[in-house]
A and B are shown apart, each in its own frame.
Chain A
Amino acid sequence: MSKELEYLSSRVASGAMSRRDFLGRAAALGVAAPFANSLLAGAAFAETPAKGGTLTAGIQTGESTDSLDPASWTNQVPFVFGRCWGEQLVELTPEGDVKPRLATEWDSNKDATKWTFKIRKDVTFHNGKTLTADDVVATMERHSDKKSKSGALGIMQGIKSITKDGDTVVFELKSANADLPFLLEDYHLVIQPNGGKDKPDAGIGTGPYKIETHEAGVRDVGQRYKDYWNGDKYGHADTVVILTINDPTARMSALQSGKVQIINRVEPKVVHLVKRLPGVTIQNVAGKGFYPFNMFCDTAPFDDANVRMALKLAMNRKEMLDTILRGYGSVGNDFPINKAYALFPDDVPQRAFDPDQAKHYYKKSGHSGSILLRTSDVAFPGAVDAAQLYQQSCAKAGIDLKVERVPGDGYWSEVWNKKPFSTSYWGGRPTQDQMYSVAYISSADWNDTRFKDKDFDALIVKARGELDKEKRKSMYHQAAMTIRDKGGLLVPMFNDFIEATSSKVGGWVKDPNQEFSNGMGMIRCWVKQ
């Protein structure tokens, strides 16, 4: 076996190269596909987790206001540290399936209104207490309570009652929902002893790491919990350390100098430089996050469907992707779903840049004068540049777009979801139903396009209760077409999640569910000895 093949297969195993790339290179070296595939299996097998050592990551974003109460989490650092010390009932695989975690199995009645989850035995919390169904019920109750201000409140609203039945927990829903197991993977829903009702920020969970230090916005340290039930799979290092490093350059230099072994949010504009660094691997994966331009469907001039269509057609998506994301992403199609979701409707025609059509619709609307777009650097990396690019492509369609750059401080409270046309970002949701429910149905908590359509609402509710996958997929096709053609959502691009690991790290899994390997980078990876 040639040295090169050996090298290539180790690259695949460490995640630096995709399987498809490997097969291509192997073919170039004159190796037949079946043989190449078997090489690959050997390399992956050889890459067994090493136990011990300290795994350190530098992560954006953390703030000195972060708390250990899972209900309050919004930032990346508590999210990633939360995956270290806490666990949910279920977990998602990178392929988008839902698998057991603290629940061993589950089932629903025929119309998906009543779900029963069996709780795992012999699991202990870090304070020594054994996990029971009561803890699960209490956790769910706490997050359903409006007073907890939980980030998972939106998910819990569809649940009518949560009761214990022996070692199972029964969820009765207000209306059918085939996706309930997916929703319970939400990172806020960490199972805590007595649901965390006694002390929400006690930081006691069932996860692979026990909290040793929590200094908000500075540093979090976890020590391996020796009675962890799933130690073969998660939690290989003895100690995990998460440093909050909000400055991208500082993060990069920390990785280069060996102070940390993993960093998140590598900026697309430096990826091509980082790739050349010895001992650094870029781990990018197409996620569910996207960068929307939101128009209020109920505010002039965006209340006119022709204006909205003209603005959508005036967007040069390819140019955005190449310039703003340097190709680390994929073009959007004006609906909030991409192929990272299960049941993605892959037959929706791609909208392209068409200045002539845009001009036509714009004229038809009769609108004259300029259109104001508000943006800020905090909306997404490169948002201001993106707005200026868009201004130029709008000019080609005869639309006079004015760009107002707003300070980042206060952008989320004063501009986003308040002003009729602004840039933003969405991190994506576990299921299509969640994404539509959180922002595009009439009663959505964050209806940031003010899209209100009764037929669409009914469609989403119907799809939610549908257990037949084919029928469901066609309903989601319809939903996508509705948002794409009638909605106030303009999606130029979906962004990749880009992390970087040093050569000392093994076991990184490219997971499209959320960034940082769905938050599990610290418990999936190990330190090579």
Chain B
Amino acid sequence: MASGLLRLVAQRIVLGIILLVAVSVLIFVGTQILPGDVAQSILGQSATPQAVANLRAQLGLDQPAYIRYFQWLGGLLQGNLGNALSNGQPIGPEIAMRLKNTLFLAFWAAAVSIPLSILLGLIAVRHKNGFIDKLISASTLATISLPEFFIGYLLIYFIAVKLQWFTSVSTVYPDMPFLQRMNAIALPAATLTLVVLAQMMRMTRAAILNVMQSAYVETAELKGLTQFEIIWKHAFPNAIAPIINVIMLNLAYLVVGVVVIEVIFVYPGMGQYLVDHVAKRDVPVVQDCGLIFAAVYIALNMLADIFSILSNPRLRHPK
């Protein structure tokens, strides 16, 4: 069984890599279509055509697009992300720092929201259609229905300004003490938690309710197990595949979709970094960020696939 599983995983990884290469082509083409030209935007309005041509040559923009694509890809494979056009700094260290910040925030938001949403889902099933179920559903649906920036502002107003428990400015820096750092990310992490909670909770509830109709649950009931034991031991393991899928999608969102949260809380993550460089037409940075985001998405989707195969014997042994 193990070798079959390994083959399956290897297959998925190869597929993922092919997909990533396809995405890199799309990203490259996309950045070429963007209006405006770096040389022009660096030199400004008063640039002479000769100066623009010189700078284009210096930046290698005079070569055909496909050559530039392979140069970029080749650099990436050797771990060289290139230099930013706007300030000439190497992209690697800067992106590494930003990515670390983004992952740090995503990690803590996930560490709170995933167990919480599953727990809430289980409780909701236990009290199906009762007051507690309705309360959980209503409150989580309310937080997902509000735009994320609005939730952010609400938290800032009540928790940072009125109560002054946590700071509203989540600026973090490399040598920041851990507790200060946790204080700084408390509000953005709370906002993200509120935004992603509902979907995972609802999926947990729906998936488990689905298997609650099965014969083996009835058997368990007849054996005299408590309601919560049935849900936790018998229903949950059989409902896990769709839950994992939703969790992975939300994890991906926590990494790549948080630009607005970063702006509101002044958090130095990848999103803000990407937006700054799109505005400057700094194509290498945009391409690298785009590829990292794509890789995160593909990797998490792949993990979701692998976990659901592992959790389901029928998928593990395809006919």
**A residues lining the B interface (CB < 8 Å):** 58, 63-67, 72, 149, 213, 215-219, 243-247, 249-250, 253-254, 256-260, 409-410, 413-414, 417, 445-446
Distance in Å: Cβ of B147 to nearest Cβ of chain A: 13
What are the residues of chain B within 8 A of A63 when measuring CB–CB?
Answer: 276, 279-280
Instruction: Check B169 against A260 for contact (C-beta < 8 Å).
Output: yes
- Mask of B137-175 contacts with A, CB within 8 angstroms, 1/0: 000000000000000010011001100100111010100
Question: Which residue of chain A is the closest to B174 with respect to CB atoms?
Answer: A215
Which candidate, B19-27, B242-250, B264-272, is the interface stretch facing chain A? B264-272
In whole angstroms, what is the CA distance A56 to B264 when docked? 18
What are the residues of chain B within 8 A of A218 when measuring CB–CB?
Answer: 171, 173, 268
Q: Which of A149, A244, A410 contacts B36 (CB 8 A)?
A: A410
Distance in Å: Cβ of A270 to nearest Cβ of chain B: 13
In whole angstroms, what is the CA distance A413 to B278 when docked? 13
Instruction: Check A254 against B169 for contact (C-beta < 8 Å).
Output: yes
**Would you call the interface of chain A mostly helix, strand, loop, or mixed?**
loop
Contacts A218-B171, A257-B161 known; A250 to B35 CB distance under 8 Å?
no
What are the residues of chain B within 8 A of A64 when measuring CB–CB?
Answer: 94, 268, 272-273, 276-277
What are the residues of chain B within 8 A of A257 when measuring CB–CB?
Answer: 156, 160-161, 164, 167-168
In whole angstroms, what is the CA distance A381 to B268 when docked? 25
In whole angstroms, what is the CA distance A218 to B278 when docked? 17
Instruction: Check B87 against A67 for contact (C-beta < 8 Å).
Output: yes
Q: List 30 A-B contacts (CB under 8 A).
A: A58-B169, A63-B276, A64-B94, A64-B276, A65-B84, A66-B87, A216-B87, A217-B273, A218-B173, A218-B268, A219-B171, A243-B266, A246-B263, A247-B263, A247-B264, A249-B156, A249-B264, A250-B266, A253-B160, A253-B168, A254-B266, A256-B161, A257-B160, A257-B164, A257-B168, A258-B164, A259-B168, A260-B169, A413-B36, A414-B35
In whole angstroms, what is the CA distance A409 to B35 when docked? 10
Distance in Å: Cβ of B317 to nearest Cβ of chain A: 50
Distance in Å: Cβ of A520 to nearest Cβ of chain B: 23
Distance in Å: Cβ of A64 to nearest Cβ of chain B: 5
B31 interface residue, CB < 8 Å from A? no
Question: Which residue of chain A is the closest to B262 with respect to CB atoms?
Answer: A247
Range of interface residues on chain B? 35 or more
Beyond the given A217-B276, A409-B279, A445-B46, could you list 7 further A-B residue pairs with CB under 8 A, ordered by the A residue number? A63-B276, A149-B43, A243-B169, A250-B264, A253-B161, A253-B168, A257-B160
In whole angstroms, what is the CA distance A260 to B40 when docked? 38
B86 interface residue, CB < 8 Å from A? yes
Q: Which of A246, A254, A413, A445 contacts B168 (CB 8 A)?
A: A254
Q: Which of A66, A215, A250 contacts B268 (CB 8 A)?
A: A215
Interface positions, chain B 31-75, Cβ under 8 Å from A, are 35-36, 40-43, 45-46
Distance in Å: Cβ of A257 to nearest Cβ of chain B: 5
B282 interface residue, CB < 8 Å from A? yes
Question: Which residue of chain B is the closest to A66 with respect to CB atoms?
Answer: B87
Question: Which residue of chain A is the closest to B84 with respect to CB atoms?
Answer: A65
A-B interface, 3 closest residue pairs, ranked by CB to CB distance from nearest? A65-B86, A218-B268, A63-B276
Which of B164, B169, B282 counts the most A-chain CB atoms under 10 A from its CB?
Answer: B169
Question: Which residue of chain A is the closest to B266 with respect to CB atoms?
Answer: A245
Distance in Å: Cβ of A211 to nearest Cβ of chain B: 14
What are the residues of chain A within 8 A of B265 when measuring CB–CB?
Answer: 250
In whole angstroms, what is the CA distance A417 to B167 when docked? 42
What are the residues of chain A within 8 A of B84 when measuring CB–CB?
Answer: 65
- Mask of B164-198 contacts with A, CB within 8 angstroms, 1/0: 10011101010000000000000000000000000
In whole angstroms, what is the CA distance A256 to B167 when docked? 11
Distance in Å: Cβ of B274 to nearest Cβ of chain A: 9
Q: Which of B45, B87, B153 contacts A65 (CB 8 A)?
A: B87
Question: Which residue of chain A is the closest to B34 with respect to CB atoms?
Answer: A410
What are the residues of chain A within 8 A of B272 when measuring CB–CB?
Answer: 64, 217
Question: Which residue of chain B is the closest to A219 with respect to CB atoms?
Answer: B171
Distance in Å: Cβ of B128 to nearest Cβ of chain A: 41
Instruction: Check B268 against A217 for contact (C-beta < 8 Å).
Output: yes
Q: Which of B153, B161, B169, B273 contacts A245 (CB 8 A)?
A: B169
Distance in Å: Cβ of B56 to nearest Cβ of chain A: 15
In whole angstroms, what is the CA distance A409 to B171 when docked? 25
Contacts A218-B268, A258-B164 known; A446 to B45 CB distance under 8 Å?
yes
What are the residues of chain A within 8 A of B86 when measuring CB–CB?
Answer: 65
